[in-house]
């Protein structure tokens, strides 16, 4: 982690400027955990409010919209995110640095996106944003590479990711069998799509088992 934090610290711009660091990778690779650790580490090193976390998961389409589109069983696939809204937020974060910008997140208890759970204050110099598809060249996603100072790829062995996914779905209310079916039906193919874009990232970071 020390080398990864040092690499992130090298991307922090001077006061009054702002950059975006993107973390891509397949589901349950450890992107959210790494983003939080980087933000905490940078704020300890440079002072509170230096870095902030902006998760792509806040731009999940709502369950109502997924039902309307007939893709509720594919939640988490690349086409189930509001990529235009996400890009608009990133552009706003880079252009507007004089007032607070509120950022949505995803609630794994409610299984819905939640508005304004995070805030990026004017003094934030590095925005760490993470999500499965940040390195995708697909329409609507490829602009992210132009906005970010760097894209990093976060990975962990597939068997570890599957274990995390089953635990995630089980803690969200599914039985173990249903959790495994959900992971294999949806998360595994989504992860294979993400892996294709690994080489588009400037750095590859391998995470270990989650700490309890």
Q: Sorting pLDDT into bands at 50, 70 and 90, what band is 2?
A: confident
CA dist., res. 105 & res. 158, Å (int): 26
Contact status, residue 45 vs residue 119, Cβ threshold 8 Å: no
Q: Sorting pLDDT into bands at 50, 70 and 90, what band is 209?
A: low
pLDDT tens digit string along 48-83? 999 999 999 999 999 999 999 999 999 999 999 999
Question: Which structural domains are found in the chain, ordered by start?
Answer: 2-206 (3.40.50.300)
pLDDT tens digit string along 178-197? 889 988 899 999 999 999 99
Contacts 24+ apart (CB under 8 A), 180-187: 185/73, 186/73, 186/74, 186/75, 186/76, 186/77, 187/27, 187/28, 187/76
Instruction: Supply the pTM of this predicted model.
Output: 0.95
pLDDT tens digit string along 112-162? 999 999 999 999 999 999 999 999 999 999 999 999 999 999 999 999 999
């Amino acid at each position: 982690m020390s080398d990864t934090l040092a690499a992130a610290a090298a991307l922090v711009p001077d006061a009054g400027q702002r950059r975006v660091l993107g973390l891509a990778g397949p589901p349950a690779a450890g992107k959210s955990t790494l983003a939080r650790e980087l933000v905490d580490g940078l704020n300890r090193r440079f002072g509170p409010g230096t870095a902030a976390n902006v998760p792509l998961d806040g731009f999940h389409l709502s369950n109502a919209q997924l039902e309307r589109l007939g893709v509720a069983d594919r939640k988490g696939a690349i086409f189930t995110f509001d990529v235009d809204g996400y890009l608009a937020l990133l552009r706003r974060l880079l252009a507007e640095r004089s007032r607070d910008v509120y950022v949505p997140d995803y609630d794994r208890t409610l299984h819905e996106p939640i508005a304004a759970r995070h805030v990026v204050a004017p003094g934030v110099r590095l925005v760490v944003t993470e999500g499965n598809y940040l390195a995708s060249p697909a329409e609507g996603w490829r602009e992210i590479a132009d906005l970010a100072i760097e894209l990093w790829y976060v990975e962990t062995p597939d068997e570890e990711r599957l274990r995390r996914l089953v635990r995630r779905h089980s803690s969200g209310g599914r039985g173990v069998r249903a959790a495994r079916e959900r992971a294999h039906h949806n998360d595994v193919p989504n992860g294979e799509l993400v892996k294709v874009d690994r080489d588009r990232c400037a750095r590859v970071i391998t995470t270990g088992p989650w700490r309890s």
